[in-house]
Amino acid sequence: MIKAGIIGASGYTGGELMRLLLVHPKVKVTVATSRKLDGNDVCDTHPHLRGLTKLKFQNLEPEEVGSCCDVVFVAVPHGTAMYIVPQLMEGKAKVIDLSADYRLRQDIFESVYKLEHKDPREAVFGLPELHPEIAGATLIANPGCFPTGAVLAAAPLASAGLISSVVFDSKSGITGAGIEPSQTSHYPNMAENVQAYKLTTHRHVAEFLQELSRLDSSLTNISFTPHVVPSIRGILTTAHIFTKEKLELEYVRYVYDQMYKDKPFVRVIEGIPSLGAVRGSNFCDIGFEVDHRNNRIVVVSAIDNLVKGASGQAIQNMNIMFGIPETEGIWYAATFP
């Protein structure tokens, strides 16, 4: 059994990691840390886990967690992991960081997040469909939720060098804002409402640029505007992809089918993806239509932001790192409707 620890286990991603790992056939969760909840039953904070675990939160130093685990998931706020990961890396444990601290090159991270990076070591960007080198990695930088859905939506056309520009428009459930309440997530402000924010300055754009320019170095014209919608889970991304030439629907489908034919968690579908069809699962559904008049492909992707957008993808990465089937423990249907 793989012994797993979770640092920062009291939040949404920590709770989702535990929900999935507690029924993973090859994993035993041995440590769940929280400074403020030290000694409390995990199930008091995550009541959906009642009957599945008797773990209590512990306030342990990273070295202690790393010494007793084979893999450690770091689910802490941005700017915090860089102080934790160096201590974990001194031990035997493989590390999967769910924050942004290791996703970007040092200078880009510091420019985007306005923080000095204290540990600018290299990590593998944990998008399994695009990074086979995950298999040999000891440190994974789990992607952001918006970049996961958006990059997967555009990657086939970017890889083929067919994109002149792309505009991403994403709608996210409220859990994307984290467990701490805010004015944005306050019920009277969110119910029956859709809120756009950071119209041109969202920090995840750096991840879009990094990953899509890896596939096509000439692709730099990338725009993104996020919205939060009155839904708990999910991200629906509409990618307006303007192409360098007129493309027929059959060819576009061929390009997507070829890239994702051996990728079990990406489903290229007929029609328009929906959040209900992926909620609670690790799938990313992708559908598209061709707009010949404007040399535009409208690609829609749907993911669960807490699963494929965070914790499920982290476990997918763990599976690959340990040489077990990437679907192990996360191969199940959505909770539709």
pLDDT tens figures, 275-322: 999 999 999 999 999 999 999 999 999 999 999 999 999 999 999 999
Phi/psi of residue 256, each to 5°?
Answer: -70, -40
C-alpha 161/C-alpha 164 separation (Å) is: 8
Domains of the chain: 2-122 (3.40.50.720), 145-305 (3.30.360.10)
What pLDDT was estimated at residue 331?
A: 98
Phi–psi pair at 59, nearest 5 degrees: -105, 85
User: How many residues does this entry show for the chain?
Assistant: 337
pLDDT tens per residue across span 93-112: 999 999 999 999 999 999 99
- Backbone conformation region of residue 8, classed left if phi is above 0, alpha if psi is from -120 to 50, else beta: left
Task: Please give the model's pTM, rounded to 2 decimal places.
Answer: 0.96
Tens of pLDDT along 139-187?
999 999 999 999 999 999 999 999 999 999 999 998 887 777 787 788 8
Q: Is 126 in contact with 317 (CB distance < 8 Å)?
A: yes
d(CA 84, CA 70): 16
What is the pLDDT confidence band of residue 74, given thresholds at 50, 70 and 90? Answer: very high
* Selected catalytic residue, list 68, 69, 145, 284: 145
| Selection from 175, 167, 176 nearest residue 146 by Cα | 176
Task: Write the pLDDT tens digit of every residue in 236-278.
Answer: 999 999 999 999 999 999 999 999 999 999 999 999 999 999 9
Q: Specify the 3-state DSSP secondary structure of 58.
A: strand
Q: How confident is the model at residue 335 (pLDDT cuts 50, 70, 90)?
A: very high
Provide CB contacts within 8 A for 58, sequence distance 6+. 31, 32, 33, 34, 38, 39
**What is the pLDDT at residue 182?**
82
* CA-wise closest residue to 87 among 104, 74, 106: 74
CA separation for the pair 69, 60 (Å, rounded): 13
CA pseudo-torsion sign 104, 107, 113, 118: positive
Query: Measured between alpha carbons, how far is 96 from 244 in angstroms, rounded to an integer?
Result: 37
Of all helices (H) and strands (E), which one includes residue 158? Answer: helix 145-159
The confidence score (pLDDT) of residue 197 equals 94
Concerning whether 145 is annotated as a catalytic residue, the answer is yes
Lowest mean pLDDT among 26-30, 206-210, 223-227, 333-337: 333-337
Q: Return the pLDDT at 56.
A: 98
Pairing relationship of beta strands 195-196 and 139-141 according to DSSP bridges: unpaired
**Cβ neighbour number for residue 193 with a 10 Å cutoff:** 10
Asked if the model's pLDDT at residue 337 lies above 90, the reply is no
Rg of the chain taking only CA atoms, in angstroms? 19
d(CA 181, CA 171): 19
Which runs of consecutive H residues, i.e. helices, occur in the chain? 12-21, 42-45, 62-68, 81-88, 106-113, 145-159, 187-190, 205-215, 249-260, 312-321
